[in-house]
A and B are shown apart, each in its own frame.
Chain A
């Protein structure tokens, strides 16, 4: 019985991935043709551009913290979104005297953040602005990561902090440091406990799927808007399946 169930699960998984891919490609095609879509207002992203402009005008820096998730497992997804935010920060603050500073709690994410900064400056023909010490590994354990990132918030003339990645309850310490240095904190994590803490401590929390919408809101690429539409459609489909399953179970039709 077990192998048959596994086979069914594998086929369902493959069909789901292909469905996601098909919808993303379809909406990317529509998006490239200029078909406009409406996306709801998320205050955190509305404030992003304002904070970047303020940082450039005030000669201050932006801080992007990418968490301590490993790229080898599910936690890497949130960190990759953080890299997209880092790319947008570096682009929009490219004429600032102080380039953005990045902290992370994982070696691979640190290398990727250095790579992102370097490729962004290269694409802007400003490679001389790239400094590898602006992308830092602060610590590998949760508290070590937070303890290493806090001095960056306090001491580096930070105007706004974007915390995006796999970050647990230690995010409260980063938000507190941000509050004390009178800088804005915009934060999102894939960790449920971290999200609960964010709601209480952060200026602009990004909950659930909001973090993954960052690319679409920050104007990264048409594929980001397409994948946002794909997520919306599949979310409603999954909600319908869950409700249907609950009703069928309530009626005793399924065990």
Chain B
């Protein structure tokens, strides 16, 4: 059984992947099967999310059992999780209480983290010169400064036409060219990864 199960998993994954792929090219023949399989995948993803939340609860339950300064955070997380599930379950996802939880806790915390992110990025840019001293680093930092100065009105000067036009050129010509190059690599890499899954070489579902 231990040997049969991985092979059966691989056959199901490869056949399902092929049918979904063929559905894009021959929608008349395989379109129905493709929609059905994608629908199943969405339902399975929803159950996977439930299992993931159960896993999150398990991890923090174990942390509470251990002696450590961080266990108070795990207690807060588990209580918040339970309260949110109960209130959102009774009230619905768009109910008053659910929205109150979202607007009072989730949104301010995420905005605070975004503010920290801005500080972290400025600090990282300054540290980059020490971490990776090269011409590319200097070019990177000069570009960042020019784009920033060209994006906002400056004290006493207002919008500087030269900086604005340089920023526009940087955003439209070198940035787009670079982004296309990177996206080309990402797209080819994604195709290669998908093909390895279809060939049954990469098996993330082997357990």
Contacts and interface: CB of A to CB of B under 8 A. Distances in A.
A110 B52 contact: yes
Interface of A: 10-11, 13-14, 17, 20-21, 24-25, 70-72, 74, 77-78, 80-81, 83-84, 106-108, 110-112, 114-116, 118-119, 122, 132-133, 135-138, 140-141, 143-144, 146-148, 151, 155, 169-170, 172-173, 175-176, 190, 192, 195, 197, 199-201, 203, 207-213, 215, 221, 223-224, 227-228, 230-231, 234-235, 238-239
Contacts of A195: 182
A143 B196 contact: no
Given A111-B48, A147-B113, A175 B195 contact: no
A169 B117 contact: yes
B109 A10 contact: no
B204 A83 contact: yes
B140 A77 contact: no
B188 A235 contact: yes
What class of interface size applies to chain B in its complex with A?
Answer: 35 or more
Contacts of A108: 44-45, 48-49
B186 to A, nearest CB: 5
Interface centre among B44, B189, B202 (most CB of A within 10 A): B189
Contact of A227 (B42, B128, B196): B196
Contacts of A228: 192
Given A111-B48, A192-B179, A20 B192 contact: yes
A201 B201 CA distance: 34
Contacts of B21: 17
Nearest to B38: A72
Contacts of A114: 55, 207
Contacts of A141: 106, 110
Contacts of B196: 24, 215, 221, 223-224, 227
17 contacts: A10-B25, A24-B196, A108-B48, A111-B48, A112-B205, A115-B207, A119-B207, A135-B55, A140-B49, A143-B110, A146-B113, A172-B117, A197-B121, A209-B185, A211-B189, A223-B196, A230-B192
B93 to A, nearest CB: 13
